Amino acid sequence: MMVQGWIVLVGSVVAVLADLDQTLLPTETKELMVALHKNCVDHLGVTEAQVNQLKAGVFTEDVKLKCYTRCLMSESGVMDENGAIDIKAFSEILPESIRGTTRNVFDSCAQTNKDIADECVKAYEVIQCWYKQNPESYFMI
């Protein structure tokens, strides 16, 4: 289940950050992404409207939204219990067609923001960086 969790988180992060062609993802990955999204929305109280803004690359200073991104990353295994980002876990859930560029941008953003202590802020800054550096590869769920 942890491997599926990775897929969900990474897929979630990727789907949230861009309008990824989700037909590239396996059915079980898409189902896990939906479940992870629902869990994080329910747990944190963010609205679908807030998540839709995030999907569109509109970043607002909202604590719940920042923690939503952390929830997606931690539940999927992309962010560990210490707040470190696992690039390998992230890249393993990406479709092969976008893996190289997306992985490199995400890794660069993770390195740039690695010293941020607050995990919610770190996750949010990483995805915001990803959007700024390469909006074509950005997606969120």
Residue-wise pLDDT for 36-63, tens only, equals: 999 999 999 999 999 999 999 999 999 9
CATH superfamily of 22-137: Pheromone/general odorant binding protein domain (1.10.238.20)
Q: What is the pLDDT of residue 47?
A: 95
The residue type at 107: D
> What residues contact residue 29 under an 8 Å CB cut-off, 6+ apart?
4, 7, 8, 11, 93
The tens digit of pLDDT for each residue in 106-128 reads 999 999 999 999 999 999 999 99
Q: What ranges do the domains of the chain cover? A: 22-137
CA atoms of 63 and 21, how far apart (whole Å): 29
Q: pLDDT category, 15, cuts 50, 70, 90?
A: very low
Q: pLDDT category, 130, cuts 50, 70, 90?
A: very high
Q: pLDDT category, 138, cuts 50, 70, 90?
A: confident
* Mean pLDDT score of the chain: 82
Q: pLDDT category, 12, cuts 50, 70, 90?
A: very low
Max alpha carbon distance in the chain (Å)?
36
Strand partners, 17: 139
The tens digit of pLDDT for each residue in 70-106 reads 999 999 889 999 999 998 888 877 777 778 888 899 9
Cα Rg of the chain, angstroms: 13
Strand partners, 85: 79
Q: Show the beta-strand stretches assigned E in the chain.
A: 139-140
CA atoms of 75 and 11, how far apart (whole Å): 11
| Exposure string for 15-54, b = 16+ CB within 10 A, e = fewer | bbbbebeeeebeeebbebbeebbeebbeebebeeebbebb
CA atoms of 139 and 13, how far apart (whole Å): 6
Q: What is the pLDDT of residue 31?
A: 81
